């Protein structure tokens, strides 16, 4: 694994499988993992991360269902980063989730859409 960093937080309220799954997913989305790259075996990965093998199996199962990896019996689990539509879609969904939060808070604070647009432009320049 070239660029797979997984940090597990004990203070996070998120369950372990979710923390691991999100970090593998973002490594795929950010291009740190290449298409076709072999992920660690569930046994090796779980021992290294000091989590149950059942947790890693769940992570791989869910990533496979979502189309980010593919498992081949006896060979292992591979990254599927060739699916550009899925990756673009997922990036958009990630941003949309944040936008929904943003709009909800804006509505609560009586900030209208024009004001929000202006703020977005200003903050975007600054970051």
Contact residues for another protein, defined by CB under 8 A: 10-11, 15-17, 43-44, 46-47, 50-55, 57
Least spacing, CB of residue 24 vs another protein, in Å: 16
CB of 1 to another protein, least distance (A): 16
Which residue, 21 or 90, has its beta carbon nearer to another protein? 21
- Partner residues linked to 71 by β-bridges: 77
Give the CA dihedral 10, 14, 18, 20, nearest 10 degrees. -20
Nearer to another protein, 40 or 67 (CB): 40
Smaller CB separation from another protein, 52 or 83: 52
Contact 91, 30 (CB under 8 A): no
CB 40 within 8 A of CB 2: no
Q: Whole-number minimum distance, CB 55 to another protein, in Å?
A: 5
Instruction: Let me know if 126 is exposed, middle or buried by CB neighbors in 10 A (0-12, 13-18, 19+).
Output: exposed
Class of residue 27 by CB neighbours under 10 A (exposed 0-12, middle 13-18, buried 19+): buried
Closest distance to another protein from the beta carbon of 49 (Å): 10
Residue 53 or 116: the one with the smaller Cβ distance to another protein is 53
- Give the closest residue to 19 by CA, choosing from 72, 56, 68: 56
């Amino acid at each position: 694994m070239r660029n797979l960093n997984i940090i597990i937080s004990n203070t996070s309220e998120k369950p372990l499988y979710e923390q691991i799954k999100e970090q593998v997913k973002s490594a795929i989305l950010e291009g740190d993992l290449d298409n076709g790259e072999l992920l660690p075996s569930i046994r090796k990965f779980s021992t290294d991360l000091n989590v149950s093998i059942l947790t890693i199996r769940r992570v791989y199962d869910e990533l496979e269902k979502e189309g980010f990896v593919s498992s081949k019996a006896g060979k292992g689990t591979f990254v599927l980063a060739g699916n550009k539509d899925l990756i673009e879609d997922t990036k958009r969904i990630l941003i949309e989730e944040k936008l929904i939060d943003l709009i909800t808070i804006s509505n609560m604070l009586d900030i209208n859409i024009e004001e929000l647009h202006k703020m977005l432009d200003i903050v975007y320049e600054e970051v």
